[in-house]
Structure 1
Amino acid sequence: MARRKRLIGRTLGAAAAAGALAWLVVTGSAQNAQQNNGGSAVKTVAGEAPGYAVEDFNYPGADQILAEKGITLKRGDGHITLADCVTGTGQLEVWARSKDKVCFDVTGTSGWLTLEIPSVYGVRGNDYATQVDMTTGTEEKSFDVAKNSWTPVGESADEQGREFMLVEIRTSA
């Protein structure tokens, strides 16, 4: 999990650096051309064109979801999304003492979502191969979730019955 976070951090850092460098080259070239041609040959259009979207993988509306539902959704690739629970729809179900049932829609061939849901004790899988990462104190544990079946995770799978927080969900088709 730490290696994945470092890789994502490096990738985002490299993308930001490349964007900054491109901006400097474009604006510097435009200013040089404008100075060399008396200011009439080149016109900067940055204010006229729409900006570029840069994906930061932050979960959209996370602050509102935290305020309304008490669930911390951090980052993901958009293939695992919080959903209203609907029976018979193939959703991934997470059971926690603190929130009862929390449901997620899963799409695509793979997905990941980092989040925080305390006191998780069970997950009902769907048609995807699913793995959940959980923490208790400084200890991290991963659990493979059975397809279309209940899997005990966290405190229900821990010999000491310790309380676990769900911190990441990963799926693959």
Structure 2
Amino acid sequence: MKPRSTLVRILAMATAAGALAWAVTAGNQPSHAATGPVADAGPGYAVEDYGYPNADKILAEKGILLKCGDGYIVLADCASEQNLLRFLARDRADVCFKVTGEKGYLALELESVHGVRTSDVSTTHLEMTAENDRVTYDIPAKTWEGVGESADGREHTLVEIRTTK
């Protein structure tokens, strides 16, 4: 057998194998004309905005605007347990939050705050507004402290809570 005829045979077999492979894979593919855009058929993307769940309902029922947070500071019933972050505000029942993580963040609006009791394990950083001023407090764990109105006489709104263990 001559080298030239061997080369022709190899090329012919390779061409036949390639044609067969193409026919098998092309036969199993759906027609592009039969499909629509993926965005029209598939579900949308899930985007986390860190908005507080049921914030509208809580605002309507309790008068507390819970804006957003990381999920580690959650509104709690003050009678549910002892170790809660508790806020005293004029003309309303105490408002409590449970701290569930090593660090926590919550943006909110709670008016007329004048006192706080921190949880047993969390140091708490508070940001409040009074008129056009922004006032901050750093309060150690397991502490009762006068803040806001009790500290300087003006009505304060609690706008941010940060906790660290």
State the TM-score, normalized to the length of structure 2: 0.74
Shift, 1:155, TM fit: 1.1
Q: Which range moved further: 99-108 or 84-93?
A: 84-93
Shift, 1:89, TM fit: 3.4
The alignment covers a number of residue pairs equal to 135
C-alpha distance in 2 between matches for 1:98 and 1:167: 18
C-alpha distance in 2 between matches for 1:142 and 1:113: 15
Shift, 1:88, TM fit: 4.1
Instruction: Indicate the SS of the match to 1:59.
Output: coil
Shift, 1:106, TM fit: 0.7
**Structure 1 counterpart of 2:134:** 140
User: Which residue type is aligned with residue 162 of structure 2?
Assistant: R
Query: Which of 97, 109, 125 is 1:116 aligned to?
Result: 109
Shift, 1:157, TM fit: 1.3
In the superposition, relative to structure 1, how do residues 87 and 65 fare at CA in structure 2: closer, same or farther (>3 Å)?
closer
Instruction: Indicate the SS of the match to 1:114.
Output: strand
Shift, 1:100, TM fit: 2.5
State the TM-score, normalized to the length of structure 1: 0.71
In the superposition, relative to structure 1, how do residues 87 and 41 fare at CA in structure 2: closer, same or farther (>3 Å)?
closer
Q: Are 2:161 and 1:169 equivalent residues in the alignment?
A: yes
Q: Retained in 2: the 8 A contact 1:93–1:103?
A: yes
Shift, 1:60, TM fit: 1.2
C-alpha distance in 2 between matches for 1:98 and 1:56: 32
Give 5+ residue unaligned stretches, structure 2. Answer: 1-29
Q: Retained in 2: the 8 A contact 1:131–1:170?
A: yes
